[in-house]
Amino acid sequence: MSHRPVRSSAFLRASSTAVAAAAVLGAVAFPSAAAHADAAAQPALTAQDHAITDVPGMVNGRELGAFTGLGGQRVDASRLIRSESLDKITAAGAQTLASKYHVDLVIDLRTPTQVAAKPDVAIPGAKDVDISMFGADGNYSDDTAMYHDLVDKGYVDASDRGPMISAYAQVLQILATHTSGTVLIHCSHGMDRTGTVVDLLDRVLGVDSADILHDYLLSNTQLGVTWATPALLQGTFESDIATKYAGMDSYLSKTIGVTPAEAAALRSRFLVSNDASASAITVDGVTVPLAAASSPAARPSPLRSRPSRAATCTSRRRTRQPARPSTCRATPPSSRSRPRTAPPPEPTG
C-alpha cells in the first residue's frame, strides 16, 4: 500500500484550498465534463456487482462480479468476497459473514506489520491465512512503483520467485482447492493487492477486460475516492505482464505456475451456467454431461481466455437478491501518504 500523509504546512493547506476552489469553479463552468470524469472514475454499482451493505463495519465489501466468463458461463459471485481489512467490523458483522455469507476462510494479503497494527476481527468458525504479497515491506510513496512491484516484486527466476509471484501462486492454489464455504480476501483497502488478485482470477475464468476494470474501479465508488485508475491496473500492471512475460496466459501458467488441473478447478468452482434448461456443456464441438463437466478433461485448454465456439451449459445457482447501492465510505488511515483529497468520513453505527 502507498502512504497518503496529512499536509501539515499552512502554505500547503492554503494552496490546497485554492486548488480545490478552482476545481469547484471549473465544475460549475463545465458540469457535464466534471460529471463524466466522476462517472468514469467511480462507476455506478449494478445488479452484477453484489455490494455488501448489511455487515456493520465492513468497508469496500462486495462479492465477485457476476460477469460472463468462459463459454458464456456466469461467474458465481457468492463464492468470494473482497473487502478492506476487517478491523472495523462489529461482532454482529462478523456473525453475519459467518451465518449469512458462509465465510469459512479469510486470506489476508497485508504485511505482518500491517496485520499487527490493525488486526482483523475474527469471523466465527473461519480459518485465517496470512499471505504477505509485498513480503516484509509494503510501504510505497508512489502508486506506479507499487503497481510495477505488484507484477513480480523480488522475482529472479523460477527457483527464486520472490514474495509477489509466490503469493499469487499460493492464493490461486487455495482458491482452486477450497471447496466448502465462501472465501473472503482482503488487503488494507481492498483495492490494490486485492484488485490484482481478482484480476488474475477473472482472467482464468475468461472475464472480459472491460468487466475486470469496472470491478476494480468500484473500490473508488465504495470508498469515495479516485485512487484506482486504468493507468495503474491496465497501463502498469497488465502492461508489464504483456511486455515482460509474453502476456497474461504465459504469466499465469509459466511464471506463477497455474497448472491445467488448477485452472480447471477454478473454473469448476467459480463458473456456473446461464441456461437453467441445459443438461450438458458443449465446448469446441464436444458435448459433456454436466455430471462430468467439472473434470479437467472436460475443460478447455488451461488458460485460454475463451473457447473458439460458444458453449451452453447449466448448473445449480444460489438465489441472489438484487444488489443495493453501497453506502460504504471510509476515511483511509493516515499511513497512506499520497497527497489526495480525503474521502467522506465513515458513517457510525
Looking up cell 482447492 gives 177
- Cβ neighbors of 209 (< 8 A, separation 6 or more) are 234
Reported confidence tier of residue 289, pLDDT bands at 50, 70, 90: low
251 half-sphere exposure, CB direction, 13 A CA radius? 24
Summarize the confidence of residues 338-344 as an average pLDDT: 46
**Distance, CA of 284 to CA of 274 (rounded, Å):** 18
- Residue 211 burial (10 A CB sphere; 0-12, 13-18, 19+): middle
C-alpha distances in Å from residue 292, one per residue of 127, 181, 263: 30, 22, 16
CB of 266 closer than 8 Å to CB of 260: no
pLDDT exceeding 90 applies to what percent of the chain?
65
Distance CA 86, CA 96 (A): 13
Backbone φ and ψ of 185, nearest 5°: -125, 140
Chain position carrying cell 503497481: 147
Its pTM stands at: 0.72
* pLDDT digit string, tens, across residues 146-204: 999 999 999 999 999 999 999 999 999 999 999 999 999 999 999 999 999 999 999 99
- Give residue 145's pLDDT: 97
Burial grade of 121 (CB within 10 A; 0-12, 13-18, 19 or more): middle
To the nearest 10°, report the CA torsion of 81, 87, 89, 91.
120
Mean of pLDDT values over 254-262: 98
Of 313 and 100, the one with more pLDDT: 100
Residues in contact with 44: Cβ distance below 8 Å, sequence separation at least 6, in sequence order: 221, 325
pLDDT at 324 over 80: no
**Proportion of the chain above pLDDT 70, given as a percent:** 68
Per the structure block, which three cell numbers stand in for 239?
A: 502492461
What are the two backbone dihedrals, phi and then psi, of residue 239, each rounded to the nearest 5 degrees? -65, -40
Q: How far apart are CA 225 and CA 41, in angstroms?
A: 9
The confidence band for 3, taking pLDDT boundaries of 50, 70 and 90, is low
**Least-confidence region, from 44-58, 222-236, 306-320:** 306-320
